[in-house]
Chains A and B, each alone.
Chain A
């Protein structure tokens, strides 16, 4: 925690709490949900497992931030061959507090495909994109006001030389210090939708982990919690909306005995990385590039990662014996990634007696080949962007200084020897009316339950191929409004 908490926020200390609607989780799904419901006059409690951490009190992408705002200090893995490292926010505001803040609307044709394939009712893309307009205003989505960082310029200039499609991705930022791009303020949930919810009367309980929901048939009657001091607590409600993210939402539903299509279709954007060294200083330890290269979308995209000295060392680790010589050059180095839209799937399985779920993910042969060709193309992009040497992150990788080396890289790549990671997790409770493929209905109500809803990235039917948080906010607002309308019509 950092200093005094905002009005309406408190560390959970009561063993019994009562509310009309309990929202579990305060990230992109939970904060927007709570904001809509509270504005409609509904009594809302938001339960957040982590702390409220004031923006600016931690250095972005640092180990300190990982300790305070990430689940398990950022060390979480989906087991497989290869295993895939992933990260999740665990703090007020969730992932919006710790990610890059890059904003992508989901493509209209993807929304149309989801509507058709999963039979989602009242899902007109135009209506959703109207909500996107509102979201973009609320979180101040905009491009950088002045020049871009050198890290970003590498992506732009490399793509331009290769004739590849590229562009700046807008972010949810304000620039209050004379439009200085290095001093932007992230318009995450603790700056936008959570204050709105609190101003409308919602209460936010931090350090409030929900162990399980107590079910009576298809109806949830209360949530069981464990307080910091070990006491057990309960939160009673009329309705519960689970927004704990694509891993912990299905895990909580499973722990609560809810069956159905829950946790079987984890979808991610697997990424592979490299570090590139340039002739001049390039490293920005606490920010990420805003350009992305989209020449090969929807299958493959390229962008830049956080690159503080610790993360540069990490990217050299797979070939430490031959790459370690570069570690002291970190001021001239930066880390970049190739992300794929995967055809593989994963599972989230809650195990008896275990606090956290088992997470697995299986890449297909096509996925593995795509990661290899993606990494090779990324290395080429780096050379064209001015890199003097490129260090791919897989065991046995050659360093790359010429186009000829790119061919060697491509031939020697093996996904099972690569450090694969992801930050985009979704699809574990897909929404729609195809009950054999969907865990929730067209508005997030869990199939087979009367008062349990999901409203986060779990609902996305598949990985969207772009940063999913715009989609999450759009869907959450849509579904929360539907609930408000339903209740109003009930009262009338």
Chain B
């Protein structure tokens, strides 16, 4: 039972956090994304496999011109489990940001 490789979530997580929390400082966003990567790397096997597939697909989409617009359109489709991907990334990142820097503003600005 060899562990699966860590899902490549960083490009999507960066883009999502830039959109959600536009005033979050770069170093904080880096730290939050690194936390998301660490946690996703320890997901149980089946979840990790599912997240890996989604992460690879969205990484490919983000590499296209207008990739974020396409990604948002895909996320809006009524596909099973796809909305769980941004929810997972947000859950981890928001928990990290507000536990680490509790006075962060709703847009991500340091206070």
Contacts and interface: CB of A to CB of B under 8 A. Distances in A.
Contacts of B49: 354
Interface in B10-51: 20, 35, 38-40, 42-47, 49
Contact residues on B (Cβ < 8 Å of other chain), bracket? 35 or more
A358 B46 contact: yes
A298 interface: no
A276 to B, nearest CB: 17
Given A320-B90, A328-B103, A330-B102, A310 B44 contact: no
A313 interface: yes
Contacts of A160: none
A354 B102 CA distance: 38
Nearest to A73: B39
Given A309-B98, A327-B106, A356-B44, A75 B1 contact: no
Given A314-B94, A353-B1, A62 B87 contact: no
A73 B42 contact: yes
B20 A320 contact: yes
Contacts of B66: none
A73 B99 CA distance: 15
Contacts of B104: 327-328
A244 to B, nearest CB: 14
Interface in A308-354: 308-314, 317, 320, 324-325, 327-328, 330, 351, 353-354
B99 A310 contact: yes
B105 A77 contact: no
Given A72-B43, A75-B47, A83-B84, A211 B98 contact: no
Contacts of A71: 44
A63 interface: yes
A490 interface: no
B66 to A, nearest CB: 22
Interface in B65-96: 80-81, 84, 87-88, 90-92, 94-96
A354 B91 contact: no
Nearest to A326: B106
9 closest pairs, A vs B, by CB? A310-B99, A356-B44, A310-B95, A324-B106, A313-B98, A309-B102, A354-B45, A356-B45, A309-B98
Given A63-B99, A330-B98, A355 B1 contact: yes
A76 interface: yes
A81 interface: yes
Contacts of A81: 80
Given A83-B84, A355-B3, A63 B43 contact: no
Central interface residue in B20, B45, B46, by most chain A CB within 10 Å? B46
Secondary structure at the B interface, as helix, strand, loop or mixed, is helix
B97 interface: yes
B84 A63 contact: no
27 contacts: A63-B99, A72-B42, A72-B44, A73-B39, A75-B40, A75-B88, A75-B92, A76-B44, A77-B47, A77-B84, A308-B99, A310-B95, A310-B100, A311-B99, A313-B98, A314-B94, A317-B91, A328-B111, A330-B98, A330-B102, A354-B45, A354-B46, A355-B1, A355-B3, A355-B45, A357-B44, A359-B46
Interface string A110-150: 00000000000000000000000000000000000000000
B5 to A, nearest CB: 13
A63 B46 contact: no
Contacts of A354: 1, 45-46, 49
Contacts of A310: 94-100
B42 A309 contact: no
A359 B47 CA distance: 10
A335 to B, nearest CB: 12
A311 B91 CA distance: 9
Nearest to B87: A317
A365 to B, nearest CB: 19
Given A75-B47, A324-B106, A312 B39 contact: no
Contacts of B39: 73, 75
Q: From B45, B49, B100, name the one whose CB has the most chain A CB atoms within 10 angstroms.
A: B45
Given A75-B88, A355-B45, A356-B45, A313 B3 contact: no
Given A73-B42, A75-B42, A327-B106, 8 more contacts: A73-B38, A75-B39, A309-B99, A311-B99, A328-B106, A354-B46, A355-B44, A419-B87
Interface string A61-97: 0110000000111011101010100000000000000
B42 A313 contact: no
A314 B47 contact: no
Given A354-B46, A356-B44, A312 B98 contact: yes
